[in-house]
């Protein structure tokens, strides 16, 4: 994995080269405005449950988790507004879904929610420093790609087990969610996860009581505190997984459609947005990866120079979704145990498959990657630091230990006569 190079001059339009189709291979012309709305709806609905689960695992109350979800919508919308205004390309931002999954895999943090907020602030500062200090990006790029993906796979594995466990404990509530996902995965893959989440939310509306007082949107401020265990166990893994699993792939996706992302400026925007949004609960924003294809590909119109309008409609849609964040969070809290966890596990299944494939692809690094995955999936906490950090440590040490020196060429033996 190598960090993208910053272009010498800002690129305000598509670069020359072939324009490929969307990631699922289906070209459906929607026009830029509708494509942007679809980008926001799919991006939001596919993972907002994971975000709420991650913030709750860090000690957030229902109100604080809802505040974090709304904050992420607003900060990424404002970041998109700046980048689109400056460069007129369909660059889209998103929250860090792998980062939220990382938080959800942890059993809290020493110092509670305020310490988690402090870790979010530091994550934003690290992203900003990456924009200012190229060497920091090189350091992240030096982490073997197989180990970074193995750490992500280990984080996701326990979360992806939720549908299996939940369907055994509550088959009547969870089976319709899984069946909806299966049918849509076959007929309309893009809508499989949103459809499953819609069924899950419908189940909640029919079976749970959601107080009206919890539906009003609001932002809740938390003054950050800092602890060494939170910085090492949360901020560093959150930074690494956001850079490796979101920002770098996001640049690659845009390049596949003929656009060059202003790398340093994008990192600066997302770093500032993460830092400023942290006290109201936002964990991290970054370049969109897979969902970026919806706004940058042919589905957003035949003219690549006008696809930036898709990013405009996407950011407007995120501002609308921010208003409904409290209502959605209240429904998640009111859900029967296992229902929303099952939907979240289905949402992460594709990411888990991709991470596993990339982590184990190289036979020479398979043992180190497997060890990284196992440690990350274990959920252990040592010295107050979570499993994701130790997974990388174990993987790097094992990789170094197993490294084989290159074979030296042997010269043919000479015999005397």
Please, are residues 230 and 118 in contact by the beta-carbon 8 Å criterion? yes
Q: What angle do CA 253, 105, 123 make, to 5 degrees?
A: 60
Each residue of 255-274: pLDDT tens digit? 888 898 899 999 999 999 99
Categorize the per-residue pLDDT at 92 as very low, low, confident or very high, splitting at 50, 70 and 90: very high
Report how far residue 262's alpha carbon sits from residue 10's, in angstroms, rounded to the nearest whole number. Answer: 6
Spatial neighbors of 115 by CB under 8 A, at least 6 apart, are 109, 224, 225, 226, 227, 230
pLDDT for 5: 42
* β-strand partners of 385: 382
Residue 25, pLDDT > 80, answer no
Mean pLDDT for the stretch of residues 5-14: 36
Spatial neighbors of 2 by CB under 8 A, at least 6 apart, are 141
Give the mean pLDDT of the chain.
82
Quick count: other Cβ atoms within 10 Å of Cβ 259? 24
Residue 69, pLDDT > 70, answer yes
Categorize the per-residue pLDDT at 158 as very low, low, confident or very high, splitting at 50, 70 and 90: confident
Q: What percent of the chain has pLDDT over 90?
A: 31
Residue 121 class from Cβ within 10 Å (0-12 exposed, 13-18 middle, 19+ buried)? Answer: buried
Q: Is the dihedral of CA 174, 175, 176, 180 positive or negative?
A: positive
Helix 97-104 vs helix 48-57: crossing angle, to nearest 10: 40
Please, are residues 81 and 285 in contact by the beta-carbon 8 Å criterion? no
Please, are residues 250 and 286 in contact by the beta-carbon 8 Å criterion? yes
- Tell me which of 85-99, 111-125, 323-337 is least confident: 323-337
Categorize the per-residue pLDDT at 351 as very low, low, confident or very high, splitting at 50, 70 and 90: confident
Q: Output phi, psi for 116, to 5 deg.
A: -65, -40
Please, are residues 79 and 92 in contact by the beta-carbon 8 Å criterion? no
Categorize the per-residue pLDDT at 83 as very low, low, confident or very high, splitting at 50, 70 and 90: very high
Each residue of 352-392: pLDDT tens digit? 888 899 889 888 889 999 999 999 888 777 766 677 778 88
Which position has the higher pLDDT, 135 or 127?
A: 127
Each residue of 182-225: pLDDT tens digit? 999 888 887 888 888 888 888 777 766 666 656 667 789 999 99
pLDDT for 7: 37
Report how far residue 238's alpha carbon sits from residue 235's, in angstroms, rounded to the nearest whole number. Answer: 5
Q: Is the dihedral of CA 206, 182, 191, 286 positive or negative?
A: positive
pLDDT for 354: 84
């Amino acid at each position: 994995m190598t960090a993208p190079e910053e272009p010498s001059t800002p690129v305000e339009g598509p670069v020359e080269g072939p324009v490929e189709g969307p990631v699922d291979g289906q070209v459906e012309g929607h026009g830029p405005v509708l494509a942007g709305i679809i980008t926001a709806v799919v991006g939001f609905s596919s993972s907002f449950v994971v975000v709420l689960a991650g913030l709750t695992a860090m000690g957030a109350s229902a109100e604080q988790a809802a505040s974090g979800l709304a904050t992420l919508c607003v900060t990424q919308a404002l970041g998109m507004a700046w980048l689109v205004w400056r460069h007129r390309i369909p660059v889209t931002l998103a929250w860090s879904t792998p980062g939220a999954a990382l938080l959800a895999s942890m059993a809290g943090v020493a110092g509670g929610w305020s310490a988690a907020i402090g870790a979010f602030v530091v994550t934003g500062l690290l992203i900003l420093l990456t924009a200012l200090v190229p060497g920091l990006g090189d350091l992240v790029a030096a982490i073997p790609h197989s180990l970074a993906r193995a750490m992500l796979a280990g984080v996701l594995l326990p979360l992806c087990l939720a549908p299996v466990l939940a369907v055994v404990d509550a088959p009547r509530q969870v089976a319709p969610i899984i069946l909806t996902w299966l049918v849509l995965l076959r007929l309309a893959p893009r809508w499989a996860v949103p459809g499953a989440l819609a069924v899950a939310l419908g189940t909640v509306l029919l079976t749970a009581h959601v107080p009206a007082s919890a539906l009003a949107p609001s932002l809740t401020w938390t003054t950050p505190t800092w602890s060494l265990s939170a910085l090492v166990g949360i901020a560093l893994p959150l930074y690494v997984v956001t850079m490796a699993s979101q920002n770098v792939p996001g640049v690659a996706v845009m390049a596949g459609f003929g656009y060059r992302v202003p790398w340093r400026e994008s990192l600066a925007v997302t770093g500032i947005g993460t830092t400023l949004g942290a006290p109201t609960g936002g964990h991290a924003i970054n370049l969109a990866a897979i969902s970026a294809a919806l706004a940058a590909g042919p589905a957003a119109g035949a003219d690549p120079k006008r696809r930036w309008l898709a990013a405009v409609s996407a950011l407007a849609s995120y501002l609308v979704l921010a208003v409904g964040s409290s209502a959605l969070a209240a429904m998640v809290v009111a859900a029967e145990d296992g229902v929303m966890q099952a939907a979240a596990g289905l949402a992460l299944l594709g990411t888990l498959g991709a991470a596993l494939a990339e982590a184990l692809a190289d036979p020479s690094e398979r043992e180190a990657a497997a060890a990284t995955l196992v440690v990350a999936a274990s959920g252990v906490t040592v010295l107050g630091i979570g499993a994701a950090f130790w997974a990388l440590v174990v993987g790097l040490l094992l990789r170094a230990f197993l490294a084989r020196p290159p074979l030296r060429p042997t010269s043919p033996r000479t015999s005397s006569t």
